[in-house]
Amino acid sequence: MKPKLLYTIVIFTVLFSTYAHFFTSSSGLQFFSTSLAIIFLAGLLGKATETVAHFAGERLGGFLNATFGNAAELIIAIFLVREGLFDMVKASITGSIIGNLLLVLGLSIFAGGLKFKQQKFNPLLAGHNASLMLLGVIALFIPAAFARDLSKNHMDTFSLVVAGALIVAYFLWLIFSMITHKTELSDDPLGNHEQEEEPLWGKGTAILILVVATVFVAIQSEWLVHSIQEVALALGWSELFVGAFVVAIVGNAAEHSAAVFMALKNKIGGAMEIAVGSSLQIALLVGPLLVFISLFFGQPMDILFTMEELVAIGVAVFIAISISRDGMTNWFEGILLFVVYLLIGTAFYFV
Amino acid sequence: MKPKLLYTIVIFTVLFSTYAHFFTSSSGLQFFSTSLAIIFLAGLLGKATETVAHFAGERLGGFLNATFGNAAELIIAIFLVREGLFDMVKASITGSIIGNLLLVLGLSIFAGGLKFKQQKFNPLLAGHNASLMLLGVIALFIPAAFARDLSKNHMDTFSLVVAGALIVAYFLWLIFSMITHKTELSDDPLGNHEQEEEPLWGKGTAILILVVATVFVAIQSEWLVHSIQEVALALGWSELFVGAFVVAIVGNAAEHSAAVFMALKNKIGGAMEIAVGSSLQIALLVGPLLVFISLFFGQPMDILFTMEELVAIGVAVFIAISISRDGMTNWFEGILLFVVYLLIGTAFYFV
Amino acid sequence: MKPKLLYTIVIFTVLFSTYAHFFTSSSGLQFFSTSLAIIFLAGLLGKATETVAHFAGERLGGFLNATFGNAAELIIAIFLVREGLFDMVKASITGSIIGNLLLVLGLSIFAGGLKFKQQKFNPLLAGHNASLMLLGVIALFIPAAFARDLSKNHMDTFSLVVAGALIVAYFLWLIFSMITHKTELSDDPLGNHEQEEEPLWGKGTAILILVVATVFVAIQSEWLVHSIQEVALALGWSELFVGAFVVAIVGNAAEHSAAVFMALKNKIGGAMEIAVGSSLQIALLVGPLLVFISLFFGQPMDILFTMEELVAIGVAVFIAISISRDGMTNWFEGILLFVVYLLIGTAFYFV
């Protein structure tokens, strides 16, 4: 698609959804128009991420994309924490982690695998991603395993310890992966960039588009969440299913399109960085931050997830580790992730 | 052993067990004679599989062996489903999975490891086998984890979704491993077959022997199941132990001998294909098919396994993944599988 | 530090702690003086291990160090078994396993990683260590999973079967790793030893120092356990926390200093052997031996661990496997182990 045409469509669909949101009361129309706007905004985001990745490398580009994508989710979650809707916060954290690890990663690997027989990325990075995902699972699992032994007060303190430890670990990981061991984790240790095409925009323009498009995606996402809840009510869907699946799929649209774009350009390392990096950021940074933020609103949120949520996160992490560990992907591994997503989704739907 | 002598012994033992089954009432004699017949039939099967593997490659040969072996188990299970004996069906599925992954694979690796210091097979195949085994565990674990949240009706529907997803995944795996990525998963990418000896039979004869011997093993297995239940009763063994261990050991005799034969010829990839491939086929195809087949008999069977069965399958898969992941095996790894089999077997015995 | 100075300090601190133990009643002074003595004894042990490793190779040196370290723990545990304090025995086994896998290994990897960008060891050894750790977890997990189905008598018998199987597996592992596959598991298959410095002592002297220092560490450890219990009582710490953390940290001081020393000399394989090898010895040999030893005192100890202990051992094994599997370590992987140790420690503290 030519840039000019894309700009025009993005502007038109954003205006259309704005009109539907403020001047109509049909949740069906609102749902349709905001979905449309998000899809094209996500397309714009994908292109901007590609350009940033051209200048900054796949991994930093992927990190920026994941961060911008999660900023939106963090803002929405803060509003939910303020309202005391802790169960919905945890359901959306769960949904975001498994959505990124299974759906976003699964579709990227599948789409990339249809075009390329085998796609490779740095196995050292795969190993570290696996260990960090495992840390996230362990950190959520331990509080649940000790829940019956701890008083409410101790659990709140313990939640702060867990949250604090995860945030420290995440920042040390950034230092490790971006500074001390940047080269070792790089996808392209030799610096071969010759075959790449000319980027669409300059560095500054691309970052600006990234920021602006992310802001719009955040706004539209919130609108969509509102309209979709009414749609869901009309269709008889459970709150857990809406929180963990519908909201998460829409909320991750940006990561989604950017990751698939990268995979189709044979940059599966960048797609990994977006999907897995986004999951890790949710588990090790966004979730723990919300525990601390809840303190400011006077109602401490603990880090206790339900057994069903832990099972969902646990199996998602194990299958994602299993298929990514060797640093190679193919279409069938995308299918495997997708099947697990389908099974968890169906289970949540029936609950 | 010369072919002629083997034929003679097979025919004699089959006739002997037929006589014992129809014309005597001693369950001890029936048990002894059918066991003998199965052992020599399994030897014949092993030789036929080797020959087929010579023409079709180790992996297709292993796949055919696993399929013929499981066809017998599927037929027996269908009779059990018709009778509504769902617990025994699930016990025998459990026993078949752990029997293949721990006992058949363990003995193959141990026997091969005594002869060869290190045996190698394709690590890419090992990785995919690991992911598929994990999918099987996840697919059985999720329904159990959500059991308390779902009504009987929802669980029946959910079981069909799980079963359907597994069957689709299994057929996509066949397309992936036999068609799109056949070369990448091959044990012998360079096609070196020079050092191989002349096969015993032609292609057609070998397949015919494979089919005929499998049919006879199936019949003998059913007879053995009957006589062994009386023997077990006399010895005071529990039904779970008989279902998951005694029946599974006998029912997998064909896979067993073929896999050990292959390992002793330094074709550990073929032995893996038989043992792991047979487990995967049970978990991803035979079990799910039985869920659908149960619909035709008017009593839907759900996919809920007991906690004890899930633990047994889970630990079997985890230790099998752990020792096979690097694409190398040695005698000690066979011991590890065997120790886990012993522990699970003892636990089931005491239940 | 020069050897003469070290000898002097060791002798002085040992005498000081002996005085405090027998001639004062201040548990604070006893705690301080024995801690001091243990630290310097551990330093001596570390130097002796290095020297032994120079002659015997990193792996045998590490094995000797782990064995001498665990001999002390075995002796203390036998006294506890005689008193029927089974819960404290199991807590200290738990603490010793996770202390070695997370704290000792974590600090070694972190310290080594600050000095060297990447440290490598034999990935085949890493894979086998992983499988053995998994066997330990499985062997403790199965009895717990079947506990509700088994009578007290059956559980005692089953515990003996599990313990016997683990001891056999451990001795087969020694045969495998020290005899049949010694070369394959070696860190230095080419035998490059040129860059090594001259050892401090001769072979015989080093072994003598190893034995004598270990005996003193054992005595001092027991004194420390006594004084620390009073200190803990004064500080209000729970028995589980003292058993699994305080006692384990002190009891593993020898392994600790030796492992860190080795890592700082870029012999991460030796550090692994000490930390992981010590854990394996506890899980596969020391623990099972105690089950048999309990028979002689007339009160059979079963092998049932609490859910909290199993969770602690399980997550420790999984994260240790995850970071070590590729045969490479760096400072961040040390952090990961340490964070998990902190989380488990905090949970045990609050119980």
What would the pLDDT profile of C224-239 be if each residue is shown by its tens digit?
Answer: 777 777 777 788 887 7
Q: Is the pLDDT of residue C282 over 60?
A: yes
Give the C-alpha distances (Å, rounded to integers) separating B312 from A62, A249, B95, B279, B307.
Answer: 40, 35, 9, 13, 9
Ramachandran region of residue A266, left (φ > 0), alpha (ψ -120 to 50) or beta? left
Is pLDDT at C293 greater than 60 in this prediction?
yes
The predicted-structure confidence for B101-133, as pLDDT tens digits, reads as follows 999 999 999 999 999 999 999 888 889 999 999
Provide the percentage of residues in chain B whose pLDDT is more than 70.
Answer: 95
Residue C136: pLDDT band with limits 50, 70, 90: very high
Question: Which chains would you list as touching C if contact means 3+ CB atom pairs under 8 Å?
Answer: A, B
**A201 by DSSP, 3-state: which?**
coil
pLDDT reported for residue B190: 47
- Reply yes or no on whether the pLDDT at B60 is more than 80: no
Cross-chain CB nearest to A322 (options B131, B150, B162):
B131
Tell me how far apart the alpha carbons of residues A324 and B185 are, in angstroms, rounded to a whole number. 17
Chain A residues close to B167, C-beta within 8 Å: none
Cβ-Cβ contacts under 8 Å, C307 against chain A = 145
Mean pLDDT of B336-343: 96
Contact B120, C184 (CB under 8 A): no
Using the Cβ of B233 and the Cβ atoms of chain A, whether some distance falls under 8 Å is answered with no
Q: In which domain, by residue range, is B52 found?
A: 3-350
Most A CBs within 10 Å, among B134, B159, B177, B322, to test the A interface:
B134
pLDDT (0 to 100) of residue B188? 61
- Nearest by CB to A138, from C315, C326, C330: name it: C315
- pLDDT tens digit string along B171-180? 999 999 888 8
**Using CA atoms, how far apart are residues B211 and C1, in angstroms rounded to an integer?**
76
Mean pLDDT on C39-51: 80
pLDDT surpasses 50 at B88: yes
What pTM was computed for the model? 0.89
What mean pLDDT do residues B129-138 have?
95
Neighboring chains of A (3 or more beta-carbon pairs < 8 A): B, C
A131 reaches C (C-beta below 8 A) = yes
Q: Which of the residue ranges A225-234, B18-27, C19-28, C303-312 would you say has the lowest mean pLDDT?
A: A225-234
Chain A residues lying within 8 Å of C350, measured CB to CB: 146, 149-150, 154, 157-158
- pLDDT (0 to 100) of residue B236: 82
Paired tokens of C146: 């079947």
The pLDDT of residue C190 is 47
Query: For chain B, what is the mean pLDDT?
Result: 86
The answer to ipTM > 0.95 is no
**Residue C145 confidence (pLDDT):** 93
Q: What's the average model confidence in pLDDT over C251-270?
A: 82
Mean pLDDT of the region C258-276: 87
For chain A, 351 residues long, give each residue's pLDDT as a single digit of tens.
Answer: 667 888 899 999 999 999 998 998 888 888 889 888 887 887 787 788 778 877 777 677 777 777 777 776 787 788 788 888 888 889 889 998 999 999 999 999 999 999 999 999 988 888 999 999 999 999 999 999 999 888 888 999 999 999 999 999 999 999 998 888 888 887 764 444 445 567 778 888 888 888 888 888 888 877 877 777 777 778 888 777 877 787 777 777 767 877 888 899 888 988 888 899 989 999 999 999 999 999 999 889 999 999 999 999 999 999 999 999 888 999 999 999 999 999 999 999 988
Tokens standing for residue A14:
């954003």
CB pair distance less than 8 Å for C143 and B319: no
Rounded to whole angstroms, the Cα distance separating C141 from C162 reads 11
Write down the pLDDT at residue C328: 92
Which residue in C266, C276, C253 sits closest to C337, CA to CA?
A: C276
Task: Say yes or no to pLDDT of C58 above 70.
Answer: no
Provide the angle, in degrees to the nearest 10, between the axes of the packed helices B331-350 and B105-115. 150
Closest CA to A244 of A336, A311, A167, A320: A311
pLDDT tens figures, B14-57: 999 999 989 988 888 888 898 888 878 877 877 887 788 777 77
Contact of A101 with A280, CB cutoff 8 Å: no
pLDDT higher at B66 or C264: C264
**Average pLDDT over every residue of C93-117:** 93
| Option in A308, A328, A339 nearest B135 (CB) | A339
* Res B110: pLDDT: 96
Q: Can you tell me the distance from the alpha carbon of A17 to that of C111, in angstroms, rounded to the nearest whole number?
A: 56
Q: What is the CATH number of the domain that holds A220?
A: 1.20.1420.30
Average confidence (pLDDT) over B82-90: 84
Domain count, chain B: 1
The share of chain C scoring above pLDDT 90, in percent, equals 43
* Site from B128, B137, B138, B179 to mutate, A interface, most A CB atoms within 10 angstroms: B138
Please tell me the distance from the alpha carbon of residue A241 to that of residue A346, in angstroms, as a whole number.
9
CB–CB of A318/B134 below 8 Å? yes
**Contact residues, chain B, for C141 at CB < 8 Å:** 311, 315
